[in-house]
Amino acid sequence: MAYLAPSILSADFSELKRQISLIEKGKADYIHVDVMDGAFVPNITFGAPVMKSLLGKTKLPFDVHLMIENPEQRVADFVTENTEFITFHYEATNHSHRLIQQIKSLGVKAGVAINPATPIWMLEDILTDVDMILIMSVNPGFGGQKFIPVAMDKIAELNQVRFEADLNYLIEVDGGVNEKNAAQLVELGTDIIVAGSAIFGAEDITAKTKEFKKLIK
């Protein structure tokens, strides 16, 4: 069983509130919030004010994915009553360990994301500290890209390490997830499935959300 976190990156921003009500009806578990700064990744999305405009309008918890440089300077902006996870990129800081403690001290769960080119052994010394590991299965920056298969090996290995070392981190996968690969990703050990274009690009967003929920049950 896994949770579903539709990414609003692929939503129609001109009617964000309504689109979120559609995934709520489909029983999505989280709202995946993709924050891009045009520096860490070659695209700019939105910042904390847009995310905060949803407060009081949805009960869904926020799963914040920061694709930004200097994340330590920004994490506090994303702490709200809806925020459950704040995930930063391992590649964007020299001080992953400190940043994990900083995020936790703000009362939210701390996630670390790695790009397709970053091996999971880089995370070895923070595995006991982190609440979630986000495996990027595309190069971050855009929705609608093709799934990069090496992510499957990383998920399987993280799942095994978690079992062998009796650790508790969650595993999330993000990028190129669709109806064809979602179930396999859960089988390999994924706990949270992110899907952007596959859900918000659908004609019936609620029906598509339900379909994904069934697939990852």
Q: Which residues are part of the catalytic machinery? A: 34, 174
**Which of the choices ligand DX5, Zn ion, none does residue 82 contact, using the CB cut-off of 5 to 8 A by kind?**
none
Structure tokens at 165: 């070392």
CB 136 within 8 A of CB 151: yes
* Least distance (Å) between residue 47 CB and ligand DX5: 15
* Least distance (Å) between residue 157 CB and ligand DX5: 21
**Which of the choices Zn ion, ligand DX5, none does residue 6 contact, using the CB cut-off of 5 to 8 A by kind?**
none
37 is an interface residue for Zn ion by CB under 5 A? no
Q: Which CB sits closer to ligand DX5, 15 or 124?
A: 15
Q: Which CB sits closer to ligand DX5, 97 or 146?
A: 146
For residue 188, give the 3-state DSSP assignment.
coil
Helix (H) or strand (E) holding 134: strand 132-136
Spatial distance between the Cα atoms of 115 and 92, rounded to a whole number of angstroms: 10
Structure tokens at 205: 């967003």
Would you tell me which residues interact with ligand DX5 (CB under 6 A)? 7, 9-10, 32, 34, 65, 138, 140-141, 143-145, 174-177, 194-198
* Helix (H), strand (E), coil (C) string for 87-118: EEEHHHCCCHHHHHHHHHHCCCEEEEEECCCC
Helix (H) or strand (E) holding 54: none
**Which of the choices ligand DX5, Zn ion, none does residue 111 contact, using the CB cut-off of 5 to 8 A by kind?**
none
* Least distance (Å) between residue 138 CB and Zn ion: 9
Q: Give me the 169-188 binding string for Zn ion, x by CB under 5 A, dash otherwise.
A: -----x--------------
Our separate counts of H helices and E strands in the chain read 7, 8
Structure tokens at 167: 């650790």
34 is an interface residue for Zn ion by CB under 5 A? yes
CB 111 within 8 A of CB 88: yes
**Which of the choices ligand DX5, Zn ion, none does residue 141 contact, using the CB cut-off of 5 to 8 A by kind?**
ligand DX5
CB 155 within 8 A of CB 191: no
* Least distance (Å) between residue 73 CB and ligand DX5: 20
89 is an interface residue for Zn ion by CB under 5 A? no
